Amino acid sequence: MDSGMHGEQSMCFGHYGKGKVNVPKTKKTYCKSKECRKHTLHKVTQYKKGKDSLAAQGKRRYDRKQSGYGGQTKPVFHKKRCKHFEIGGDKKGKGTSLF
């Protein structure tokens, strides 16, 4: 009978450790081992993305397409500075300040 913490991988919780979502660090859940067979405290961690394989078909195809002359062949996403610009907004007049 072990009352300590057990390791558990859980991927159903949002961005763990990012400060946006309040996620519990522990979770009481059933332990299947022959010693326990009861609900005990488990540590909750978020799965992380593994390293991309160089042998994957998509990566091989992309590298083949990129090789040689011709520059970038696929679109590269660049995050916009802001979604909307305010046209004709506040202007600084003579002898005034914006803030």
Q: Taking 80 as the threshold, does the pLDDT of residue 93 lie above it?
A: no
Tell me the CA distances in angstroms from 17 to 6, 11, 14, 70, one per residue in order.
20, 13, 9, 41
**Nearest CA-CA partner of 42 in 33, 54, 50:** 33
pTM of the predicted model, to two decimals? 0.45
Looking at residue 36, its pLDDT comes to: 92
Q: Taking 50 as the threshold, does the pLDDT of residue 79 lie above it?
A: yes
Interval 7-59: pLDDT, tens: 555 444 444 445 578 889 999 999 999 999 999 999 999 889 999 999 999 99
Residue 93 CA, distance from chain mean position? 45
Q: Taking 80 as the threshold, does the pLDDT of residue 89 lie above it?
A: no
Looking at residue 84, its pLDDT comes to: 87
Instruction: In whole angstroms, give the CA distance from residue 33 to residue 2.
Output: 10
List phi, psi (to 5°) of 66.
Answer: -75, -25
